[in-house]
Structure formats: structure tokens, C-alpha cells
Amino acid sequence: MWTWQAPVADLQHLLTQVLDAPARWAAQPAFAELDADTANEVLAQAGRFATEVLAPINASGDAQGCRWNPDGVTTPDGYRAAYQAFVAGGWPSLAIAPEHGGQGLPQALNTALFEMLAGANHGWTMYPGLLHGACEVVMHHGVDALRERYLAKLVSGEWLGTMALTEPQAGSDLGAVRTKAEPEGGVAAANGVPVRVSGHKIFISGGEQDLTDNIVHLVLCRLPGAAPGSKGLSLALVPKVLPDGARNTVFCDGIEHKLGIHGSATCQLRFDQAQGWLIGEPHRGLAAMFLMMNAARLHVAVQGVGHLDAALQNASAYALERQQMRAAQRPPGLDGGAAATRGNADPIAWHPAVRRALLTLRARTDACRTIALWTALWLDEAEHHPDAAHRAAAAGHVALLTPVAKSLFTELGHRSASEALQVFGGYGYTRDYGIEQTLRDSRIAMIYEGSNEIQAIDLVQRKLLDDGGARAQALMAVLAEDAARCAALPALQDFAQALSAQLAAWQGALAQLRAGRADDADYPLRVADDMLAGVGHVLLCWAWARSALSASDPARASAAGRPAADWLASARFGLQWLLPQAQVHWERVAAREAVLPWLAD
């Protein structure tokens, strides 16, 4: 049986003891009232919701899936009640500003919430997954009339939103979008004007569902006479139900039959002269949409962490139960104990290969979770810190960290699900234990919200090269502070050296990229995936160092949860067994002369 418990104690420990979140919140007037106890209580309640309401309908929702008929989509049993509980609990508005009807809590808590939701039930989490982004778009780009009509219902979660970008011919290349928006009555296009929207969208998550009475579609479209490509794109708000209660001419022509997240309706939508309103300036649709996409990318990143955590929990539980052969060594303190007398075999968790697999999952989960929460702390400071220079620096960190987090965590989430499945042997390949669902569900996160290859190109071109390396230098300086803190402690010399070496490798790779692209424009694109993975390993190394720092400080021990020695062991395992992989990526970046032969037709 698939099993999952919200990792509340670990999230609390990382935020309060490792990342010093309460002190950072205290420096921001928006969160000055938020203390560690309140934050811990929010996490505990979120964990209860995820464990008690969502996890129990994860396997059943996968087995049942969504059902389509011409009038709509029926989500799996229990989804609607779970969504009502989610709304009643006030979760949709957690990180929305109080002036817009939200609770004004930090993104860091929202990020932790969404990691737990995704860990418990990725399919269900797709429905509220875009809500925060939709609220941001309406808040920042909607004219007053649209804000008055839609914002409160989105903030409360009474209505859900979609992000309608993809078309059959327009996937990664949104410049190929063809959906049309024609201003009504021949008026000039401007923010808020009514438009008629026509076109086909595919793969739209939650494009139709039975959780909410109305759905607010944010549709990427093209006005008459717009420039070709992405510079000619506009954004329209198109509701399923119009303000007078009439059904708009938006139709769900079918849903996809897909590898995983069966509980999430992935819809083909047809807009047939549908009534909508422009949101944001004409031809600036992509810029408006980016607000939604950045928030969504961090949510997708933590889907990877949720899957990592679910893989770890399930594989660990199984490996302690399943007995095969005698292990050469037993855990210290267990010789002659109760576990040693169970039949002729030992738990597979005692075999070094399995222990190593479990520790790999543990070290990755700890580090990715740390980086995700850290990114969210910067996201809050980019918006709320009183010092403008600090806000700008924080925004730079977020811009660089987001594509790395999205790609790294989703890749590790899926790879770890496969490694966890291996721990189950043949039972993993069957449906008996549900780890195969984690493997299937986790795969999509590497594809949507900008595929991982597109994230790597964004990182290399926009975040590392176009600004002359300024963002990279700023982030490296912050990471170097923790290397120095490790260097000051005799017991953490290995962390200090490893982090310093990784920062030097990043510097070297950056110099290679800059020098190499002058006479070979293709080179940064050839090595973009390795550059992202290399930077990802720098961050993993930093996260393990940071965890080791807090584990070495008795004042930072958490009352509940894992002991400091356990955090330190996980961090050191990461350093010794997982970090060497970074070298492969740095070497590939350095191999400028490596050619990519053309494939034969």
C-alpha cells in the first residue's frame, strides 16, 4: 500500500533552524507579526490536511481518473469534497496580500504547503496549482472592473483559474500561438476592452472540472494586425460562466489519456467567439503571463520535492519490512536484538546497496527542500523587503534559482521514484505498493511549465550570460559566506572545501561559456543542460553545508523530528556520494570542442 505522512517536522526544522526564516520575516513589515510558533502551526495544519484528506484519495483518484462527456468533466470520487475542505480551510488565500482578501503569509509557507499537497496527491494539486498565479495576473494587470468581478472569487478559491497557452502547433514556441481575440464593436484594443476569442487550446490543466461553478481562463491570444511571434501576443480573461449567468462559448472537446496524474483533467478547449476581456496591455500578453508562469514554476519545482519525499517514505517503509538474505553487517546496537531474531533473513534496508539507495533519496530530499524554501524566502524579500537594493538583489537570486529548481528537482523527483521502485523489486513494478504511480505521476513535471531543456536555455542565456554574469556573482557571494562559516569550524572542513571547489568550478564554467560563445554561438545551447545540472550541484552542496552548520550548533536542535546527527549524516552522505556527479557536468561544459553530429534523415 502506498503510504505518505506530511513531512511537517522536517519543513519546520529547515525553515526555523536551518534557514532562519523567522529572523528574515521580522525584517519585513509585511511579516513582522509572524513568529516561529505561528509558522509551525500553519505547517502542522497544512500537513494534517495533506495527510488526512489528500493522501487517502491519491491511489483511488489514479485508478478512477477523470471522465469526460460533452457537458463537462467528472473528477474522481472525493476530489470535490477535498477541494471544498481546502477552500473552507482558507488555503487558497494563504499567501495573498490582506488588501486583496488574503492572509498575507509568506510564499515560503505557501511553497511548503504546495510541496505537501503534491507529495500527497499530485493529480488533485493540479487544480489549485495555478490559482496563486491567476490571482497575481488579475491583481497586477486587470482593470478595476475585472478585479472587482473576479479577484475575490479567485482569492477565496470559490472559482479556479487556468493558464491557456499551448496549441497544437505552439508548445515551447509560444510565438506560434494562433488563437484570435477581436475587440467587440471595432473599439481600439486596450486593457480591459471586451473581446471575442476564437481558437483551439490543448493540454489545459483544469480546463474543465466539477470542483467549482466557474472557471477563469487566462488565454494567450493574438489581436488583429498583431506582429508575428511572441511580441504580438496578448492575454484575455475568458470565464466559463458569464457575469449574467449564461454559459460562455468555451467548450471542452475532450481530455487526454495520459501516463500519470490521472485525477487531473488535461483538456482540449475550443473558444468559439467566446466573450472575454483583455487583461494587461495589448501585445504585452507574455509579460503579463510571466507573473503566472514564475509562480507556477516554483510550484512545479516543489512537485519534484513532493515526489522525492513520497519515494523516500515508501521505499524506506518497504525496505525495513522486506527480508532477503543475511546482511554482512547489522545496524549498531541491533546485534542480538529483536530485529536480529526474525527468521533467517535481514531487512533489505541493511544491505549496503539498498541503504545507499535510501540515503540517496534522503540526502536529495533534504537538499532540494532546503533550496526550494530558500528560493521562496528570497521571493518574499524581492517583494516585501524595506530596502530597495535588497529587493533587487533578492529578485536576481529568484530569477537565477527558479529555472534551476524547476529542472533539478523534477529530474531528481522522477529519477528518485525509479530508484525507489528498484527497492521494491518486482513488487515495485506491480500496482501493489503504488510506487509505480509515483514514477508515472512525477514524469510530467519535467515537461510542462517550460520543459527542462527550455529552463536550461533560460538559465544560460538570460540568467547567466545576458547580464554579464552579475546575477551569478551575486548569488555566489551569498553561497561563499556559508563556505566561510564552515571553514571556521574544524569539524566542517570537508563542507567548506567542497563548497569552495564547486563555486570555483561554476566560475570557471561561466568564463568558458563567455569565451566560447564568441566564435561558436551554438556552444552555450549544447551544454545548457550540463550547466544547469552543474549549478544545481553547487546548490545541493550549499544545502548540505547549511544543514551541517545547523546540525553543529546545539542551539539549533529541533525539539521534535530527526536528531542533529541524522541531518549531519544525510548531508555528509550527499557530499561524499552524490556531489562527485558534478564533475561530469563541469567536464562536459569545458569540452567546447565536443561536436554534436547531425542525425541521418
Ligand X SMILES: Cc1cc2nc3c(=O)[nH]c(=O)nc-3n(C[C@H](O)[C@H](O)[C@H](O)COP(=O)(O)OP(=O)(O)OC[C@H]3O[C@@H](n4cnc5c(N)ncnc54)[C@H](O)[C@@H]3O)c2cc1C
Size of the site for ligand X (CB under 6 A): 18
In the bound complex, what is the minimum distance in angstroms from residue 440's beta carbon to ligand X? 11
The backbone region for 597, taken as left when phi is positive above 0, alpha when psi lies in -120 to 50, beta otherwise, is: beta
In the bound complex, what is the minimum distance in angstroms from residue 567's beta carbon to ligand X? 35
* CB closer to ligand X, 166 vs 214: 166
Task: List residues bridging with 567 in a β-sheet.
Answer: none
Q: What single string gives the DSSP state of each residue in 344-379?
A: T--BGGGSHHHHHHHHHHHHHHHHHHHHHHHHHHHH
Residue 486 CA to residue 551 CA, distance in Å, equals: 12
* CB closer to ligand X, 165 vs 404: 165
Q: Are 307 and 122 in contact (CB under 8 A)?
A: yes
Residue 353 CA to residue 376 CA, distance in Å, equals: 35
- What does the chain come to in residues? 601
* CB closer to ligand X, 96 vs 444: 444
In the bound complex, what is the minimum distance in angstroms from residue 451's beta carbon to ligand X? 3
In the bound complex, what is the minimum distance in angstroms from residue 199's beta carbon to ligand X? 12
In the bound complex, what is the minimum distance in angstroms from residue 152's beta carbon to ligand X? 23
Q: Are 402 and 297 in contact (CB under 8 A)?
A: yes
Q: Which residues 6+ apart lie within 8 Å of 347 measured at CB?
A: 319, 320, 321, 322, 323, 339
Task: Enumerate helices (H) and strands (E) in the chain, giving the number of each.
Answer: 22, 9
Taking the mean position of all CA atoms in its chain, how far away is CA 59?
A: 21
Q: Produce one character per residue of 157-195: b if its CB has 16 or more CB atoms within 10 Å, e if not.
A: bebbbbbbbbbeebbeebeebebbbbbeeeeebebbbeb
288 binds ligand X (CB under 6 A): no
Binding mask 126-165 for ligand X (x = CB under 6 A): -------------------------------------xxx
Alpha-carbon Rg for the chain, nearest whole angstrom, is: 24
* CB closer to ligand X, 269 vs 549: 269
Residues 431-470 within binding reach of ligand X (CB under 6 A): 444, 447-448, 451, 453-454, 457
Nearest 5 degrees, angle CA 313-CA 315-CA 317?
65
In the bound complex, what is the minimum distance in angstroms from residue 489's beta carbon to ligand X? 42
In the bound complex, what is the minimum distance in angstroms from residue 198's beta carbon to ligand X? 17
Binding mask 531-570 for ligand X (x = CB under 6 A): ----------------------------------------
Residue whose beta carbon is closest to ligand X:
171
* CB closer to ligand X, 258 vs 391: 258
* CB closer to ligand X, 183 vs 254: 254
* CB closer to ligand X, 51 vs 268: 268
Residue 482 CA to residue 549 CA, distance in Å, equals: 8
Q: Which three cell numbers stand for residue 358?
A: 535510501
Residue 306 CA to residue 385 CA, distance in Å, equals: 29
In the bound complex, what is the minimum distance in angstroms from residue 167's beta carbon to ligand X? 8
Residue 164 CA to residue 198 CA, distance in Å, equals: 13
Helix axes 528-551, 388-423, angle to 10 degrees: 90
Phi, psi of 299 (to 5 degrees): -65, -35
Residue 496 CA to residue 549 CA, distance in Å, equals: 10
Residues 224-263 within binding reach of ligand X (CB under 6 A): 258
* CB closer to ligand X, 253 vs 453: 453
Task: List residues bridging with 88 in a β-sheet.
Answer: none
In the bound complex, what is the minimum distance in angstroms from residue 479's beta carbon to ligand X? 28
Residues 161-220 within binding reach of ligand X (CB under 6 A): 163-166, 171-172, 203-205
Q: Are 229 and 95 in contact (CB under 8 A)?
A: no
Among 266, 275, 316, 547, binds ligand X (CB under 6 A): 266
Residues noted as catalytic: 449
Residue 199 CA to residue 221 CA, distance in Å, equals: 9
3-state secondary structure at position 574 = helix
* CB closer to ligand X, 202 vs 373: 202
Q: Which three cell numbers stand for residue 386?
A: 524595506
Q: Which DSSP state fits 293?
A: H
In the bound complex, what is the minimum distance in angstroms from residue 120's beta carbon to ligand X? 18
Interface ranges with ligand X (CB under 6 A) = 163-166, 171-172, 203-205, 258, 266, 444, 447-448, 451, 453-454, 457
